[in-house]
Amino acid sequence: MLLPRRLSAQFVMLFAALILSACSSSAATVASPQVIRETVEVQVTAPPQIIEATVEVPVPADPGSLVIYSGRSEALVAPIIAQFAEATGIDVEVRYGSTAEIAATLLEEGSNSPADVFFAQDPGGVGAVAKAGLLAKLPAETLNLVPERFRSPEGTWTGVSGRARVVVYNTATLTPEDLPADIYDFINPEWSGRIGFAPSNASFQTMVTAMRLTWGEEKTRAWLEGLKANQPVLLENNNAVVQAAAAGEIDAGFVNHYYLYRFLKEEGESFGARNHFLTGSGPGSLIMTASIGRLANGPNEENAIRFINFLLSPVAQQYFSAQTYEYPLVDGVVTQAGLPPLSELESSALDIDISTLDDVQGTTALIRDVGLLE
C-alpha cells in the first residue's frame, strides 16, 4: 500500500548581486531544504526571494533499502539524499568516491554489484558503465521529465542537474569586455602566459569532446595546440583554476560555473574572480549534467526508480538550484538569479546530444598527443 506524503521545502534564492554584497558582511544562513511544516528563517541584508517547492513522495508500506554509489561528493548531495530517506522511510546507504573511482569499482564488480543506482558527476562516468551493459533502461515517464538532449538515447541514464562551462577571470586585470566571445580566440598570442585550465578534469575533457563533435578533429587539435603555444598554467581541478584566477596567477581560466559561488560564499565579496558566460561560442558554454543511472542487477529496482524520480522532482531540483548553484533540468524550477537562463545558453550553444560526449578515451588521447596531459 502506498501512502503518499507531501514533502515541501522552502528555498531561499539569492540574487547573485545580493550574494556578492551580503556574504562578506552578514551571516547569510542559507538553509537546507526542510521536511513539511518546518519554516526556514533567513537573515540577509536585503529580502531574498523565497520559493516553496512541493512533491508528493509515495511512502511504501515496506520501505526496504537502497544502495547508492555516488561520484558526487557528500558535501553536495548528502542533504537531499537524507531528505529522501527521511520522507520515504527507505534505508538508504551511500558509498561516496570520485566518479572515476566509483565507475572503475562498478566495472570491476560487474553484474555482482550490490549497487542500485550510480549518481555520477558527469555523463562520462555513467556512459562508461552503460557501455559495459551494466545499466537498465529507465521508465519513459522518468526520462520524459528531462529534455531529450540531457539524457541517454538508449534511456539508460538521465541528467539531473546542469553546469555550464564558463571563463573565470581576474577582476583586477580584466573586465568582461576584454574577453573574447568565442573560446577559440584564446589561442591568440595576446593570451600567452595568461590562461589556465585543468586538462585532467572530466569537465574540461567533455568540453573538448564537444569541440571534436562540433568543430571537427582538426580545428580542435589546432585549438589545443594554440593553447599549448600560449604556455597555459595546467591545474589539477576546477577549484584550483578559480583560485589561480582570483590570485592573479592567471588572468582567465576555463571552468564550470558553480565553483565560483562557493568561494564567494566563504571568502566574501573581495574574492578576486568572477564568471563570464560565453553565450555566443558553441562548445565554450557547453552544458554538462550530473547524471544518474540504475544498475540492471541492483536488488532494489523500485526504490531506485523512486529515488531517480525524486531527484527530478521540484524539491530536489530546487535544492540543486539553490544550494549547489546548478541549473535545474526540469521545467518550472527557479534558477539562481545572475545566471543566464539555460535556454539562452542552449540556443547559442550546440545542437549536440550530451550522450554523444562519451568518447573520453579519444579525447584524452588527443589532449595527451598535443602534450597538455601526462
Residues 235-264 binding another protein (CB under 8 A) are 235-237, 239-240, 242, 244, 246-249, 259, 262-263
Note whether 135 binds another protein by CB under 8 A: no
Q: Build a one-symbol-per-residue string for 201-240: x at contacts with another protein by CB under 8 A, - elsewhere.
A: xx--x----------------------------xxxx-xx
How far apart, in whole angstroms, are the C-alpha atoms of residue 102 and residue 262?
A: 25
Note whether 103 binds another protein by CB under 8 A: yes
Which H or E run includes 86?
A: helix 74-88
Of 58, 63, 226, 268, the one binding another protein (CB under 8 A) is 268
Query: Among residues 125, 134, 114, which one has the least CA distance to residue 67?
Result: 114
Note whether 282 binds another protein by CB under 8 A: no
Query: Among residues 99, 104, 9, 133, which one has the least CA distance to residue 292?
Result: 99
Q: State phi, psi for 372 to the nearest 5 degrees.
A: -100, 0
DSSP string, 89-118: --EEEEEE--HHHHHHHHHHHGGG---SEE
Note whether 173 binds another protein by CB under 8 A: no
Q: Build a one-symbol-per-residue string for 338-367: x at contacts with another protein by CB under 8 A, - elsewhere.
A: ----------------------xx-xx---
Note whether 304 binds another protein by CB under 8 A: no
Which span (27-35, 55-63, 140-148, 175-183) binds another protein, by CB under 8 A?
27-35
How far apart, in whole angstroms, are the C-alpha atoms of residue 53 and residue 55?
A: 7
Q: Name the DSSP class of 17.
A: H
Of 105, 173, 230, 279, the one binding another protein (CB under 8 A) is 105
For another protein, give the closer residue by CB, 152 or 313: 152
Q: For the purposes of burial, counting CB atoms within 10 Å of the CB of 229, is it exposed (0-12), middle (13-18) or buried (19 or more)?
A: exposed
Cα-to-chain-centroid distance, residue 193:
29
Query: Among residues 13, 83, 7, which one has the least CA distance to residue 42?
Result: 13
Residues 30-69 binding another protein (CB under 8 A) are 32, 67
The set of cell numbers assigned to 320 is 540543486
Cα-to-chain-centroid distance, residue 163:
4
Give the number of residues written for the chain: 374
Instruction: Tell me how far, at minimum, the Cβ of 159 lies from another protein, in Å.
Output: 19
For another protein, give the closer residue by CB, 3 or 172: 172
For another protein, give the closer residue by CB, 71 or 284: 71
Instruction: Tell me how far, at minimum, the Cβ of 25 lies from another protein, in Å.
Output: 10
**Which residues make up the interface to another protein (CB under 8 A)?**
23, 27-29, 32, 67, 73-76, 93-98, 100-105, 107-110, 112-114, 124, 128, 200-202, 205, 234-237, 239-240, 242, 244, 246-249, 259, 262-263, 265-268, 272, 360-361, 363-364, 368, 373-374
